[in-house]
């Protein structure tokens, strides 16, 4: 079965995120003063061939640990969308 997976990779809490800060300032410039704590991460969408949603999840977990996220600076989460 083919599962669609959406991976979310975020800078680890506590690490300086200058990109997020710049976007937050730009939002304020636009008048959105309500916006705060902006953090910039990365989204990865992929299709995974696996026997079950659990197997797909295990594969994606390994992909995140080995490549998609940097274990020193980033945290990840993902959702497997069952067809």
Partner 1 sequence: MIQAAVVRFPGSNCETETLRALEAAGLSADVVWHRDDALRGADVVVLPGGFSYGDYLRSGAIARFSPIMAAVREHASGGGAVFGICNGFQILCESGLLPGALLRNAELTFVSKPVTVRIERTTTPFTGVYSEGATVTLPVAHGEGRFVASDEELRELDARGRVVLRYLAGQNPNGSTADIAGISNAEGNVVGIMPHPERATSGVLGNDTGAGFFTSLASWTSTLKGVA
- Summarize as ranges the residues that interact with partner 1 (CB under 8 A): 11, 15-16, 18-19, 22, 67-68, 70, 72-73
Contacts of 56 (CB under 8 A, 6+ apart): 3, 5, 48, 50, 80
Query: Is 21 or 82 the residue whose CB approaches partner 1 more closely?
Result: 21
Least CB distance to partner 1 at residue 82 (A): 27
Least CB distance to partner 1 at residue 61 (A): 17
Residue 44 and residue 1: Cα distance in Å, rounded?
20
DSSP state of 14: T
Least CB distance to partner 1 at residue 51 (A): 26
Residue at token pair 């680890």 = 12
């Amino acid at each position: 079965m083919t599962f669609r997976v959406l991976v979310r990779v975020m800078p680890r809490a506590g690490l300086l995120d200058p990109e997020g800060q710049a976007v937050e300032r730009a939002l304020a410039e636009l008048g959105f003063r309500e916006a705060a704590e902006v953090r910039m991460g990365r989204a990865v969408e992929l299709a995974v061939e696996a026997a079950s949603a659990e197997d797909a999840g295990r594969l994606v977990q390994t992909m995140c640990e080995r490549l998609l996220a940097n274990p020193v600076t980033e945290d990840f989460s993902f959702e497997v969308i069952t067809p």
